[in-house]
Homo-oligomer: A and B are copies of this chain.
Amino acid sequence: MSATPLRPAIVLSSGGLDSTTCLAVAQSEAFAPLYSMSFDYGQRHRHELAAAERIAKHFDVAQHRVITIDLRQFGGSALTADIDVPKDRSEAAMAGDIPITYVPARNTIFLSYALAWAEVIDCDDVFIGVNALDYSGYPDCRPEFVESFQQMARLGTTRTNFSVHAPLLHLTKAQIIRRGVELGVDYLMTHSCYDPDDHGRACGRCDSCILRKKGFAEAGVADPTIYVVSPRP
């Protein structure tokens, strides 16, 4: 009987619904050991980082790394600067332009750090929970970006077989939630809100909350999220 060869993977974990589903997908595809990586980039929703740590423990990852990067010094985003997070927007309004919550080159920077870690731990596989369907305003959530990063990474490092896995790329939020529930994910652990209160309760009104609530409704799954305000009927 030969030992199963190791297929380590790094999962970018924000503590949110999508990246936690990604962790569960990586685990279900027999990647092991799993490593998770979060970023402290001066975001308002620091409850994300606490959620990411809980989730790393829950999935029993080999190592969970929190990388501090100061994207605030570049300005330009409601997630990091002193601009109000938009509330109660329609999906049409969200889908239009590049949203005010866009953080410059965020996924490029995140994936670059994952790539550096992958080189050091001899790992060829990085998972990222980007999604092109539900929230298409971010240019770095498109399939052509993911493909292009992978190509660049293979040319620019020693990992010539490097792969970026984006298993949620073409799923709706409802499909993501159904997949996660199949894989046993407890979404109470996860945090999505852009503007939580001091106790980490979700506002229920930012773009992220609106999409999350709609996802649970469409998936026919009870929403375990604790909101400051009751969801609208």
Contacts and interface: CB of A to CB of B under 8 A. Distances in A.
Interface residues of A, number: 38
Contact of A109 (B65, B74, B109, B139): B109
A74 B117 contact: yes
A112 interface: yes
Interface in A55-103: 65, 67-71, 73-76, 98
A2 interface: no
A115 interface: yes
Contact of A107 (B117, B119, B140, B156): B156
A120 B76 contact: yes
A115 B108 contact: yes
Interface string A115-129: 111011000000000
A142 interface: yes
- By secondary structure, the A interface counts as helix
A152 B67 contact: no
Nearest to A148: B152
B144 A155 contact: yes
Given A139-B156, A145-B155, 5 more contacts: A76-B119, A139-B158, A142-B156, A145-B156, A151-B152
30 contacts: A67-B73, A68-B70, A74-B116, A74-B117, A75-B120, A76-B120, A104-B116, A104-B117, A105-B112, A105-B153, A105-B156, A108-B115, A108-B116, A108-B152, A108-B156, A108-B157, A109-B109, A112-B112, A139-B155, A140-B156, A140-B157, A142-B156, A144-B155, A145-B155, A145-B156, A148-B148, A149-B156, A151-B151, A151-B152, A152-B152
